DNA sequence: TCCGACCTTGCGGATTTCGCAGATTCGGCC
DNA sequence: GGCCGAATCTGCGAAATCCGCAAGGTCGGA
């Protein structure tokens, strides 16, 4: 799933420097391009180039590279509630044994929208998006708690989503 | 000539009406358009039209309306860690008194990326995005814990982001 | 000095976007 | 049923954008 970084990377690709975890290092210009696309994901390359001081072709290449590397993706985001998913919850999970393998198992579930390994009284936090209460109950009780290595879970059902931003760097 | 999947438009529901909470009601075609744009936010209108059985112009109008209504937004999303924000945390908060006013105060903080009111042992969950440990410590201890009405907080510092999807409806 | 990575400029052609006018459909109303 | 207004869809040019490609320039590292 994260293989795209190393995938078709024969000789033409050039990440000058990578930090040791494999994530490419971004310069100020790429940052500025990302900011432009965070404001409007369909903004034309020429307009972005004017804003960041690059030619249209250069912007096009950088955007393509950022997408190929998986640094960013350009997508439509919605409020799940308006699209018909009425129940959401954050689930805190405690694990005995290999945390990462549990996290991988959660990642494979389509109802799980967000998985992060944390320090603190939970090992993993996972966000779940479901259509109704039955569906949510099924995912938590049947699918998650039954994973071998899951010691305990605690659920926080969403009552109201107050804020949801995608504008890192724009501040 | 175009007898596609969405053929039978006779009893089709094209209501642009609103359900009682003010959020517009989406029909199957708009759903399909959103799904297309969740896969690729820059997909051309003609390609979307071919996929959902509409003309290019019709797709364009519907997309524009969805954007105007705020049902969806087309943006670039990134992994904050690769964009220079090295410290993230989820903070569970317990409140005495009015929960919503505390949630509003959190919403106004630029470092707070995500705010949701929940049922369970926390009243509010808030995701924080910071540049370093000092910044994170400052936000949690100085800014959040000092809000009048905040009874207690518990922090979960992110170690590794495993999954981040924006594909509701695509399954 | 050579080479690789990257940017720029320029160029056409294919594709896409955009605005608008004319159909078509829907829902309400008599 | 029949009529009307609003919303929606379609078709179609014109303008803008995308996309690949080539030649040349710059910079820094081996």
CATH tag, B1-77: 1.10.10.10
Contact (Cβ atoms closer than 8 angstroms) between residue B129 and residue A168? yes
Contact (Cβ atoms closer than 8 angstroms) between residue B82 and residue A71? yes
Give the separation between CA B170 and CA B168, rounded to whole angstroms: 6
Q: Which residues of A68-80 are buried (b: 16+ CB within 10 A; e: fewer)?
A: ebbbbbbbbbbeb
A50-CA/C18-C1' distance, Å: 21
Per DSSP, the three-state class of B42 is coil
- A72 interaction partners in chain B (CB closer than 8 Å): 76-78
- The pTM of the full predicted model, rounded to 2 decimals, is 0.78
Among B17, B62, B67, B76, pick the best mutation site for testing chain A contact (most A Cβ within 10 A): B76
Residue range B5-14, pLDDT digits in tens: 333 333 333 3
Please work out, in degrees rounded to the nearest 5, the angle formed at the alpha carbon of residue A136 by the alpha carbons of A123 and B105: 65
Residue range A49-108, pLDDT digits in tens: 999 999 999 999 999 999 998 889 999 998 787 787 889 999 999 999 999 999 999 999
Range with lowest mean pLDDT among A2-6, A75-79, A114-118, B152-156: A2-6
CATH tag, A80-157: 3.30.70.920
Give the separation between CA B85 and CA A22, rounded to whole angstroms: 16
What pLDDT does residue B26 have?
Answer: 80
* Phi and psi, residue A167, nearest 5°: -125, 50
> Could you tell me the pLDDT band of residue A16, with boundaries at 50, 70 and 90?
very low
CB within 7 A of strand C (chain A, 25-64) = 29, 42, 49, 53-58, 61-62
Give the separation between CA B151 and CA B120, rounded to whole angstroms: 15
Q: Does domain A25-77 have CATH number 3.90.79.10?
A: no
Highest mean pLDDT among A1-5, A129-133, A148-152, A165-169: A148-152
**In chain B, where are the structural domains located?**
1-77, 80-157
């Amino acid at each position: 799933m994260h293989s795209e970084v190393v995938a078709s990377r024969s000789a033409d690709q050039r990440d000058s420097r990578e930090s040791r975890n494999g994530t490419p290092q971004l310069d100020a210009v790429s940052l500025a391009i990302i900011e432009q696309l965070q404001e409007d994901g369909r903004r034309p390359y020429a307009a972005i180039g004017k804003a960041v001081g690059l030619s249209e072709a250069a912007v096009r290449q950088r955007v393509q590279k950022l997408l190929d590397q998986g640094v960013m993706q350009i997508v439509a985001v919605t409020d799940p509630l308006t699209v018909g998913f009425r129940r959401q919850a954050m689930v805190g999970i405690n694990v005995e044994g290999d945390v990462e393998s549990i996290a991988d198992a959660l990642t494979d579930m389509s109802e799980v929208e967000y998985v992060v390994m944390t320090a603190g009284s939970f090992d993993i936090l996972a966000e779940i998006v479901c259509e109704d209460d039955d569906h949510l109950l099924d995912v938590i009780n049947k699918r998650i708690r039954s994973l071998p290595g899951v010691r305990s879970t605690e659920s926080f059902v969403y009552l109201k989503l107050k804020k949801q931003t995608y504008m890192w760097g724009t501040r």
